[in-house]
Structure 1
Amino acid sequence: MSHLRPALVLLVLFTALTGLAYPYAVTAIGQAAFPTEANGSLVTENGRVIGSDLIGQNFTSARYLWPRPSATSAADSQDPSKTIDAPYNAAASTGSNLGPTSQKLAERLKEAIEAWRSAGLSTPIPGDALTTSASGLDPHISPVYAEAQVARIAAARNVPPAKVRQVVESFIEGRTFELFGEPRVNVLRVNRALDRMGS
């Protein structure tokens, strides 16, 4: 009994500290100091959530900036033991893990190249136009990939390419703290700005 009582007291104490007090304190600090980020960096329009700055979306219209491919999947509704492709599924963040000898990867790359060519894009294909990110949810693309899409978007919206280019360039984000990562463009933010631009 002399060992049991201190053990129970420590169990209750550390459960309260690490299981309740600490998580609530971190949540409160996050909500006070970074409320937008703590709540998922949600993007709202007319009071309705339309996306997140942190999770990509599958834009396919010629009028919009296209994101990089996504390798996320979901359970097959016909056979739960199997999975099906479900791009930008935030509940299943993952890379494809397909190796250089994978037939599935080769087919996906071929389809992406054909889509690039059929959209009338003749510039060299940027790497992020073909490859998925490690999470499968990357909301950003490279400025090179964004620039390569300007003419297509301008033609689809019947506006001068310079107008679209100006919108894209205004959303280029630099390296974090001028040190980490690469320059990038948030696809959702640009597409919202394109809609506000009109046409």
Structure 2
Amino acid sequence: MPLPKEVLTAVRAMVVLTVLLGLAYPAVVTGVAQLTMPDRANGSFIASDGQVTGSRLLGVAPTLDTGKQDDNGDPVTAPDPSFFQPRPSATGYATDTSYFSNRGPNSDTARQFYKEEAAAYLALNAPTSPGLTVGKIPIDAVTTSGSGVDPEISKANAAIQARRVAAARGLPPAQVAALVRKHSRGRFLGVFGEPGVNVPELNRSLRNLEATS
């Protein structure tokens, strides 16, 4: 028994659309991207000495091994004061997943989390920023982003951290401030979003200084 005309039409449409939208269109878009912007198309990777160390799109916190272990036997780390730190992450800066904390503004766990993050920020930055108090901490320094791996921090956050980085590295504050300006951007089209500083690019510049010193 031959198939109804409507079924044959639907099958043909499915095959044609699958070829066009599932194969041809992605191939064309991928090819154009590889020709016009290969760096972005491949993930905006950051390399050092020929080795990929990260991406400009993923914020990862530079840490130091404290030589201690937690209750599970895993090494305990601490923020590396010689590098800029991204905003807190609900994912632990995991690069294979993305989610946010989902804490409500009136949540007890949120208040405790922000209190702990503020205390940690002050402990890390107050010694090089006299007069820094909880009320002067930029909001992005204690709140997580929607992705958990936001590569950018606010200019105010970067300015506070710049003093600490300069002191930790023995660099002139003006030199570190110049690097911050180099990796800063304004609002998209002058209207959308907030000005920010790319932390992975900024830390790569600091590593390059190490390599040339």
**TM-score range relative to shorter protein:** 0.7 to 0.9
Amino acid at match of 1:13: V
Hey, what's the Cα distance between the residues in 2 that align with 1:19 and 1:146?
43
Q: 1:160 aligns with which of 172, 182, 186?
A: 172
- Alignment length, in residue pairs? 185
Hey, what's the Cα distance between the residues in 1 that align with 2:182 and 2:42?
26
Moved more, 5-14 or 123-132: 5-14
Q: What secondary structure sits across from 1:50 in the alignment?
A: strand
Q: What secondary structure sits across from 1:54 in the alignment?
A: coil
Hey, what's the Cα distance between the residues in 2 that align with 1:6 and 1:165?
65
Amino acid at match of 1:109: Y
Mapping 1:23-172, distance limit 5 Å: 23-59=26-62, 60-72=79-91, 87-121=92-126, 122-123=131-132, 124-172=136-184
Mapping 1:153-192, distance limit 5 Å: 153-192=165-204
Alpha carbons 2:186, 2:194 under 8 Å: kept: yes
Instruction: Kindly report the root-mean-square deviation, in angstroms, between the aligned alpha carbons of the 2 structures.
Output: 1.8
TM-score (norm 1): 0.85
2:74 counterpart residue number: none
Amino acid at match of 1:63: S
Q: What secondary structure sits across from 1:146 in the alignment?
A: helix
Amino acid at match of 2:43: G
Hey, what's the Cα distance between the residues in 2 that align with 1:118 and 1:10?
63
Moved more, 33-42 or 135-144: 33-42
Amino acid at match of 2:36: A
Gaps of 5+ in 1: 73-86
Hey, what's the Cα distance between the residues in 1 that align with 2:174 and 2:30?
44
TM-score (norm 2): 0.80
Gaps of 5+ in 2: 63-78
2:73 counterpart residue number: none
